[in-house]
Amino acid sequence: MEEALVPDPLLQVEGIHTHIGKHHILQGVSFEVFPGEVTVLLGRNGAGKTTTLRSIMGLLPPSRGRILFKNRAIQNMKPFEIARLGIGFVPEDRGLFNFLTVEENFRVAMLQKNGDTEERMEFILDVFPDLKKFWKSKAGILSGGQKQMLAIARPLVNRNELLLIDEPSKGLAPIIIEHLIEAIHRLKEHAMIILVEQNFYMASKLGNDFHLFDDGRTVHKGQMEKLVRNEELKKKYLGISG
Amino acid sequence: MREKEDRFKNPYFSLKILLLAFFLLTPFLFRSFEILDVVLKIIIFSALVASYDVILGYTGIISLGHVLYFGIGSYFVGIFMGKLGWISYGHLALAFLISIVISGVLSVLIGLFSLRIRTIFFAMVTLAFMEFTFILSSQLRSITGGEDGISFKLPGILAIDFSYGKFLGVEFTGRLISYYLILLLSLLLFILMLRFVHSPVGRVLISIRDNEQRSIALGYRTYLFQVIASSFASCVAAVTGGCFAMWVCYVSPDSSLSVPIMLDVLLMVIVGGMGTIYGGIFGAAFLMITRAFLPKLQVLIASLLPGVPFAIRLSERWLFYFGLLFILIVYFFPKGVIGTAQEIISRKKAA
Amino acid sequence: MIAIFLLPILLISPKTYITLTISGLAMGMLLFLVSSGFSLIFGLMSVLNLAHGALFAWGAYLGFTAFSSIDKWTGWGGSSSIFTNMLIFLLSLVAAGIGVAILGVVTERLVIRPVYGSHLFQIFITVGAMIVMEELIRIIWGPNDEPMPVPINFIGSLDLFDVVVSKYPLIAIVIGLILYFIVFTILRTTRLGMIVRAGVENPEMVQVMGHNVYRYFTGVFAAGSALAAIGGGMWATFVKSINPAMGGEVIVFALIVAIIGGLGSMTGSVVGALMVGLSYNYVAYLIPKAALGITMLLLVVILLIRPTGLFPEGT
């Protein structure tokens, strides 16, 4: 924090408004994300966190505002173009191809085979060993936790600098969540992660920074460790105490 | 009370009165039978298309087999008058009645089916059903007269050869009387349909069409409403079918049950506009008039371009241009001509 | 389920059974060609293409023209060598396939693109497209039925184990199977196939992974159209004639097959097509008038047991 050189933000979201049909979901969302960190987006259900991720990914283009990735405006780009720039997306429903095998899921995800692909695959399988076991099985038969791991592992096969992960802990047992936290920890060095999480425990364990969402706006930000101790904020925006 | 007053002052109301007057006076305005024929077909098909609009435009169900009920109506009239030879007013009315009941019941059965399958499946299944009935009627010669169909006469004053003398220069024939009877029936059907879509039931249907999930959440048994709507529409279609059979005094698979007729209805409802009962009138008029007069135009053009068979064929196939025109209409006027007009008007009002 | 198809043996003499089975399988194969394209297009792009039947007809007509032209040049159609017969036949089919694939791409760009997302408008606009395409056939080739030329060696029958078997259905079955295996292999083993299968399951996710799904759409549309065209050419050879309205006749069957098999499933198309083809032929022999009825019955029964069709999307 005392560095004289402030690194450039990897992703800048500037005042975006997004509509779904007639509904004005995002009413001014702004935040920045710096390399080497895990940023957590927190807030109640319906506060606009998922919509924000989808806007970044180009699935719900914003009607106003800008999104800059490595200083490049991406708010009007198509999802596949954005993906090719190096952003990976793990949606809430995981987006797995259940009728394809684990191997095929990876092959679909892999955009380019280059020098470090093998290395990356080794790393992925090291972090998520179960995937190796079920390599040739259809993704649909995996357990909930394994599916989540596959969903997160998939985009890693490319040189993605940014990973958007939406509520990975949803529907998972606590012990699986622990595994997930460990795994994501190991990923930190390879990609910048924006995490949307309802599970505060997980969020606090993984996040460096946070941004609070309320009613489609970003209302507060700061460092995770400070939030953990801030009862007032937690109660007000997340409805949790203690 | 205010509402009623407004309705009369409404300029569109006078337009509708004008249209009605036109239909009433057609036999007197035009002495040619051909024109009378075209106009009545417009009237009959307007009602049919409007009934389809109730399902498609108001309830949002995509059915591709609606003409099935049209066929049922036609066939009952044809079978009673023709095959069974029961030529009397009573039997004519009975034919209508039975076809209404059967159509209603059939559409409920098919509706039961639709609960379990996705919308597009339903569309395809209804198409398949209609096609099946088409083939069935082509093959059951003893009942339906097979592919050749059934020709028949109408009772009493409706019969073609009935004549009563002249009235304002127009002969009072069975044809004329049939014309007015059908016009009256169609008018009643139209009023019925308008009442239906503006009634509370109709409003629920519109809300279901626009947002089915929300309607279910609000506690409406959407399925029930959809079945009611489609039953109603199929009964109306049956009546129009009976009218059609009455007018042409003939019924056959090709004239009352075929896929091309369904396509025509589809064309008409798109051109006219979905969700605008009146759109049916415009759509029917558009199609009937084009169909009747374009071929004449093309004969004219063909006579100007002698020689090359390709060029002749190019001008001969008016349906080709119609198809292109149709695609353009779908593209530029997705709400149909009447629908788009209504939208423009309501936008102007809001401004 | 397979047992049902062996039932007819009880009612029909074994020899006739074999003949019927072969024509049933042939019909099934041809139905597969037409319905697979429709099913895959719907599965991947969620597009209802009612003009698919017209593509079928175009395939038949292009095949007709190709065959006649090649025959004029080389006389292969009438030659006694089965090799050249096969050659001209396959060449015409390929020509038809390529031609209709191009037509398909044009159709997809102009007519289908604007109506992605709305099944209703797809129905409308593809009906219009169907009319236009059918009329175009009438304009180019004339409105009448035409006899379809058949290579000499395809006519007639073989005597196999004392059973008289028409030659052509056998050829149709073989070609159909080969095409099925080609499609199957592409879908199962190539990366392209994987992406298409993934797209059928979840087109949005495929986009998110960096693939331009729209290009794949166009490709699948072209491929589906080509298959329908080949089906058309082969069907025409089967019934030995072509007419402009043949598209409309076949689309209902193709629709039924696609629904029975499950939209978006190749395996479903094959199974559905064979079921319809076989049942139609058996029943047509036993009770001619009920032939179409059995198809309808099949449709109703299967939809009652499994409302989404036999096989799920993406298989």
Mean pLDDT calculated for residue range B5-13: 56
- Candidates B295, B268, B312, B341; CA nearest to B48 is B268
What pLDDT sits at residue A158? 87
On whether the CB atoms of residues B133 and B71 are closer than 8 A, the answer is: yes
- Residue-wise pLDDT for A69-116, tens only, equals 988 889 889 999 999 998 999 999 999 999 889 999 999 998 877 778
What pLDDT sits at residue B98? 92
What pLDDT sits at residue C32? 92
Write the residue in C191, C194, C207 that is nearest to A80 by C-beta.
C207
Q: Could you report the predicted ipTM of this complex, rounded to two decimals? A: 0.85
Residue A2 vs residue B165, higher pLDDT: B165
Mean predicted lDDT score pLDDT of chain B? 80
Chains contacting chain B through 3 or more C-beta pairs under 8 A: C
Residue numbers in B near C304 (CB within 8 A): 116
What pLDDT sits at residue B307? 62
Question: Across the interface, do B128 and C129 touch by the CB < 8 Å criterion?
Answer: no
B-C Cβ pairs (cutoff 8 Å, strict): 96
What pLDDT sits at residue B116? 65
Specify which of A71-75, B82-86, B237-241, B291-295 reaches the highest per-range mean pLDDT: B237-241
What pLDDT sits at residue C90? 86
d(CA B189, CA B192): 5
- Is the pLDDT at B9 greater than 70? The verdict is no
Ordered by where they begin, the domains of chain A are: 11-238 (3.40.50.300)
Q: At B1, is the pLDDT very low, low, confident or very high (cuts 50, 70, 90)?
A: very low
Both structure tokens of C29: 């194969």
What pLDDT sits at residue A89? 93
What pLDDT sits at residue B272? 83
Burial of A89 (0-12, 13-18, 19+ CB in 10 A): buried
Chains contacting chain C through 3 or more C-beta pairs under 8 A: A, B
A-C Cβ pairs (cutoff 8 Å, strict): 64
Q: What percent of chain C has pLDDT over 90?
A: 13
- Is the pLDDT at B303 greater than 80? The verdict is no
Domain boundary assignment for chain B: 1-30, 34-258
- Is the pLDDT at A190 greater than 90? The verdict is no
- Is the pLDDT at B45 greater than 90? The verdict is yes
Choose from C44, C191, C205 for mutation: most chain A CBs within 10 A. Answer: C205
On whether the CB atoms of residues C28 and C5 are closer than 8 A, the answer is: no
What pLDDT sits at residue C1? 55
CA distance C187 to chain B (A): 25
| Interchain contact C287–B (C-beta under 8 A) | no
- Residue-wise pLDDT for A224-242, tens only, equals 888 888 888 788 777 776 5
Q: What percent of chain B has pLDDT over 90?
A: 14
Chains C and A touch (3+ CB pairs under 8 A): yes
Write the residue in C128, C255, C256 that is nearest to B327 by C-beta.
C128
Question: Across the interface, do A158 and C210 touch by the CB < 8 Å criterion?
Answer: yes
CATH of domain C2-143+167-305: 1.10.3470
Mean pLDDT calculated for residue range A199-222: 85
d(CA A90, CA B121): 32
- Residue-wise pLDDT for C151-203, tens only, equals 777 777 777 666 677 778 888 888 889 998 998 898 888 888 889 888 888 88
Residue numbers in B near C43 (CB within 8 A): none
Question: Across the interface, do C299 and B125 touch by the CB < 8 Å criterion?
Answer: yes
Q: At A147, is the pLDDT very low, low, confident or very high (cuts 50, 70, 90)?
A: very high
Residue numbers in C near B322 (CB within 8 A): 131
Helix (H, G, I), strand (E, B), or coil: what is residue B71?
Answer: helix
- Is the pLDDT at B312 greater than 70? The verdict is no
- CA R_g for chain B: 21
Mean pLDDT calculated for residue range A184-199: 85
Mean predicted lDDT score pLDDT of chain A? 86
d(CA B244, CA B320): 27
DSSP lists the bridge partners of residue A213 as A43, A218
Q: Which residues, numbered 78 to 117 in chain A, qualify as contacts with chain C under a Cβ-Cβ cut-off of 8 Å?
A: 78-80, 83-84, 89, 91, 95, 97-100, 104-105, 107-109, 111
- Is the pLDDT at B296 greater than 80? The verdict is no
Write the residue in B119, B128, B320 that is nearest to C135 by C-beta.
B320
Question: Across the interface, do B323 and C139 touch by the CB < 8 Å criterion?
Answer: no
Instruction: Search chain C and give the residue with CA nearest B318.
Output: C135
Question: Across the interface, do B326 and C248 touch by the CB < 8 Å criterion?
Answer: no
Chain-centroid distance, C-alpha A14? 18
d(CA C121, CA B123): 13
- Is the pLDDT at B5 greater than 50? The verdict is no
Question: Across the interface, do B62 and C120 touch by the CB < 8 Å criterion?
Answer: yes
Write the residue in C198, C204, C207 that is nearest to A100 by C-beta.
C198
Residue numbers in B near C294 (CB within 8 A): none
Chains contacting chain A through 3 or more C-beta pairs under 8 A: C
- Is the pLDDT at B239 greater than 90? The verdict is yes
Q: At B2, is the pLDDT very low, low, confident or very high (cuts 50, 70, 90)?
A: very low
Q: Order of strands, edge to edge, in the sheet holding A217-223? A: A87-90, A162-166, A192-196, A38-43, A209-214, A217-223
Calculate the alpha carbon distances from A31 to A11, A41, A165, C234 in Å: 8, 10, 16, 62
What pLDDT sits at residue B297? 74
- Is the pLDDT at A203 greater than 90? The verdict is no
Choose from B119, B310, B330 for mutation: most chain C CBs within 10 A. Answer: B330
- Is the pLDDT at B51 greater than 80? The verdict is yes
- Is the pLDDT at C256 greater than 80? The verdict is yes
- Candidates B42, B297, B81; CA nearest to B186 is B42
Write the residue in A80, A104, A105 that is nearest to C211 by C-beta.
A80
Chain B: residues touching C (Cβ < 8 Å): 56, 62, 64, 113, 116-121, 123-125, 127-129, 131-132, 135-136, 139, 259, 263, 266-267, 270, 310, 313-314, 316-317, 319-320, 322-324, 326-327, 330-331, 334
Residue B191 vs residue B329, higher pLDDT: B191
Q: At B236, is the pLDDT very low, low, confident or very high (cuts 50, 70, 90)?
A: very high
- Residue-wise pLDDT for C50-109, tens only, equals 889 899 999 999 988 888 888 888 777 777 777 777 888 888 889 899 999 999 999 888
Choose from B130, B132, B294, B319 for mutation: most chain C CBs within 10 A. Answer: B132
d(CA C237, CA C168): 8
- Long-range (24+ apart) CB contacts under 8 A made by B222-225 are B223/B115, B225/B59, B225/B201
Q: At B238, is the pLDDT very low, low, confident or very high (cuts 50, 70, 90)?
A: very high
Residue numbers in C near B326 (CB within 8 A): 128, 131
DSSP lists the bridge partners of residue C59 as none
| Interchain contact C297–B (C-beta under 8 A) | no
CA distance C174 to chain A (A): 29
> Quick count: other Cβ atoms within 10 Å of Cβ A19?
16
Question: Across the interface, do A108 and C201 touch by the CB < 8 Å criterion?
Answer: no
Residue numbers in A near C194 (CB within 8 A): 100, 104, 107-108
Write the residue in B64, B132, B259 that is nearest to C296 by C-beta.
B132
Residue numbers in C near B266 (CB within 8 A): 123-124, 127
Helix (H, G, I), strand (E, B), or coil: what is residue B63?
Answer: coil
- Residue-wise pLDDT for C202-232, tens only, equals 888 999 999 998 888 888 899 999 999 999 9
Q: What single-letter DSSP state applies at residue A94?
A: T
Dihedral Cα C198, C204, C210, C211, nearest 10 deg: 60
> Quick count: other Cβ atoms within 10 Å of Cβ B333?
17
Choose from C116, C186, C195, C209 for mutation: most chain A CBs within 10 A. Answer: C209
What pLDDT sits at residue A102? 92
d(CA B301, CA B21): 35
What pLDDT sits at residue B322? 79
Domain boundary assignment for chain C: 2-143+167-305
Residue numbers in C near A103 (CB within 8 A): none
Instruction: Search chain A and give the residue with CA nearest C193.
Output: A108
